Structure 1
Amino acid sequence: MNPSHPVVRRGSTLAANLGLSERVFASSADRAMARAIDDGLERVETGLVDEVRFADKVADVAGRYLLEAGGKRVRPMLTLLTAQLGDGVVDDVVTAAMAIEITHLGSLYHDDVMDESERRRGVPSAQTVWGNSVAILTGDLLFARASQLMAKLGERAIRMQADTFERLVLGQLNETVGPDPDEDPIAHYIQVLADKTGSLIAAAAQSGIVFSNADPALEAPIIEFGEKIGVAFQLIDDVIDLSPQPQETGKVPGTDLRAGVVTLPLLRLEELAKTDVASADLLERIRRDVLPRPAADDGDPLDTNTLAARIVPSRATVDGLVAELREHEATRATLAEAHGWAREAVAALAPVPEGSVKKALTRFADTIVERSS
């Protein structure tokens, strides 16, 4: 198969989606910053199309697949935004923004293989189209291309890329292995989010500071902002996974839950189930009818329990349980926690000078948690 999709041009549409429009920013300085980000995003988008081309035919088609499927380019936008605290959208900033986005794209190919996801960005996932091996190798190629871009920016950039990539892998590894028996599963999960999602968003924000020659004193608070907003971003995704509107999410409601992917609503439900009978009942039904079960050994006698385990629940049953979890206190608690991380992210911006950039970063944090509404 050789599926392709038209490249989506962004610019002002993306800026407006994330609150960076003239409707929100009224002053001339705000509007000038929004235009600079729009122009920078055009450069990044054009550059991404060029950078994910490969001489090999299969690599070229597979490498462009998720880029052309869409995406809001949140990470490069954040790089361009924090760069406004320095020299603005200079060439090195654009290069770093492209490298960050390509790193993100590569991680999506790997994540979908490990999570056995069937769809991504509204289209069949790469491994659904080409198989696991091609999807994994495509992700590896994209990581290599991102590293090549960062190498153009010098030793500091190479170290930043290596450190971020290490955290991405460790986050995925710890998610796969799970918490130790004596470890708090929720604390373990939050650390996984900080590594898998927060580290790359933090690197995006940091890159804007470093490669625009902004005040080095701003680097630490901007990194903290990026990591905390990254955790908030993923917690909101946990809520969105249960959304009843697949036309907006591009996924079947409860995709992660059905695949057995750990999310905070499920962890919170497990916590509440220890003391609440209704929560315990819902958890038991989700474990029985929604979460994947180990395959039965065909050599075992077909006793009553084995036969019951092989009964596949109806789609209506599974959809109903996803809806119950969506309306449960566990999901409301997850949403509240996401808002808490967003507030902490904004608080980290205290050392950042007042002005258009700080206003935009604050609006960006608001927009992250508003995605669930």
Structure 2
Amino acid sequence: MTTVVVPFGLSVQDEALEADVQAGLSAVEEGLLEATKSDVPFIAEAARHLVRAGGKRFRPLLVMLAAQFGDPHAPGIVPSAVVVELTHLATLYHDDVMDEAEVRRGVPSANARWDNSVAVLTGDFLFSKASRILADLGPEAVRIQSEAFERLVTGQILETIGPRDGRDPIEHYLDVISGKASSLTAVSGRFGALMSGADETVVDILTQYGERLGTAFQLADDILDIASDSHESGKTPGTDLREGVPTLPVLHLRSQVAKANGSASADDRRLCELLDGDLTDDGRHAEALELLRAHPALEQARKDTVRYAEEARATLAPLPDCSAKAALAGLCEAVVHRAG
């Protein structure tokens, strides 16, 4: 049987599945363009800025694969995939403002192209469009999305205020990711299964799968911020590092230095000094990036990524063996590969 490729570098051994996924994702693209229409040309231009920049469409892909455990052509599947992607896109507009990012998906961020106010309001516009589509999917879908949105905002607030009361920074960070990233991937798996009419047990399995995969996906992003070039990640390497956004490699570094109890190496002390200083300076930023790329903390973050991806794969065990299950397992492998 011919191997075919679907988005995110995922190969499957089923042409019928590939055709279903590709058709679904094409419909999602049309839905995104339809949802970002406006009678005001400037609003449409700003709203479509990141849509047209592309992206992995990771969450819609998860919706399409989860829908294979019921009726993959059920009417609510494509709209629910559009909802999760619009929500994700809206958060990117807001994140780039908070992080003062200049590049997103290989193009200037909305805040860099226009200004912060336009970026924030465009994100709000996308949230409103997602809500409008969601209203047609019924009260249960609205409840699911609202709970996920609460988690998403909670995660962002937790990131903003930082760990409190002597809490372990790594545990705090994983809570941040659970809200900011895993909430939407969990909903993606849930919507795909739910809208397809899959059994309640299957819906729960694919929700848990999406939760764990979302964490692995974000941790892989943390590694890419340090280890990749701009071609791989679609943004400037070390963006989070420059902006002082805590990521898992940096948190592991600080934890290891703290445990060294004063006996940290000269390189570790220098790296911490750089991280605590002004990384808007290109020279200091480049030095910090070089030292962190060679540090064992980066490998520890990779191990954590692999662990969450393996947990995601393990949740699939009760599902019947089929091409969709194999493709979902393949997504786990793709995330691990992305983390190097």
Matched, 1:86 2:86: no
- Report the Cα offset of residue 292 of structure 1: 5.7
Query: How has the CA–CA distance of structure 1 residues 333 and 84 changed in structure 2, closer, same or farther, with 3 Å as cutoff?
Result: same
Matched, 1:144 2:135: no
Unpaired segments ≥5 residues, structure 2 = none
**Of 104, 123, 131, the match for 2:115:** 131
**Of 189, 213, 218, the match for 1:234:** 218
Query: How has the CA–CA distance of structure 1 residues 265 and 313 changed in structure 2, closer, same or farther, with 3 Å as cutoff?
Result: same
Partner Cα distance (2:264, 2:143) in 1 = 46
Partner Cα distance (1:14, 1:168) in 2 = 31
- The alignment of Structure 1 onto Structure 2 pairs a total of residues equal to 337
Partner Cα distance (2:42, 2:52) in 1 = 15
Query: How has the CA–CA distance of structure 1 residues 115 and 317 changed in structure 2, closer, same or farther, with 3 Å as cutoff?
Result: closer
Matching residue of 1:298: none
Matching residue of 1:372: 339
Matching residue of 1:337: 304
Partner Cα distance (2:25, 2:228) in 1 = 31
**Of 165, 186, 189, the match for 1:202:** 186
Partner Cα distance (2:310, 2:317) in 1 = 12
Matching residue of 2:55: 71
- Report the Cα offset of residue 75 of structure 1: 0.4
Could you tell which deviates more after superposition, 269-278 or 177-186?
Answer: 269-278
Deviations 1:242-288 (A, max 9, x none): 12422222222211111100000110000110234675644543454
**Of 355, 361, 373, the match for 2:322:** 355
Deviations 1:218-238 (A, max 9, x none): 111111110111010011111
| Structure 1 residues 75-224: aligned runs within 5 Å | 75-224=59-208
Q: What RMSD over aligned residues (CA atoms) do the two structures have, in Å?
A: 2.0
Partner Cα distance (2:336, 2:195) in 1 = 28
Matching residue of 2:292: 325
Matching residue of 1:315: 282
Q: Does the 8 A contact of 2:305 with 2:339 survive in 1?
A: no
Unpaired segments ≥5 residues, structure 1 = 1-11, 294-311
Taking structure 2 as the reference length, what is the TM-score of the superposition? 0.94
Q: Which has the larger radius of gyration?
A: 1
- Percent identity of paired positions between Structure 1 and Structure 2: 41
SS in 2 for 1:90: coil
Partner Cα distance (1:48, 1:207) in 2 = 17
SS in 2 for 1:242: helix
| Structure 1 residues 4-43: aligned runs within 5 Å | 15=6, 17-20=8-11, 24-25=12-13, 30-43=14-27
Matching residue of 1:243: 227
Query: How has the CA–CA distance of structure 1 residues 67 and 16 changed in structure 2, closer, same or farther, with 3 Å as cutoff?
Result: closer
- Report the Cα offset of residue 74 of structure 1: 0.6
Partner Cα distance (1:356, 1:224) in 2 = 19
Q: Does the 8 A contact of 2:7 with 2:61 survive in 1?
A: no
SS in 1 for 2:31: helix
Q: Does the 8 A contact of 2:87 with 2:126 survive in 1?
A: yes
Matching residue of 2:34: 50
Deviations 1:67-125 (A, max 9, x none): 11110111001101100000013221001001110000001001111111111001111
Partner Cα distance (1:281, 1:313) in 2 = 23
Matching residue of 1:289: 274
Partner Cα distance (1:50, 1:342) in 2 = 34
Partner Cα distance (1:214, 1:267) in 2 = 40
Partner Cα distance (2:9, 2:178) in 1 = 22
Partner Cα distance (1:208, 1:176) in 2 = 31
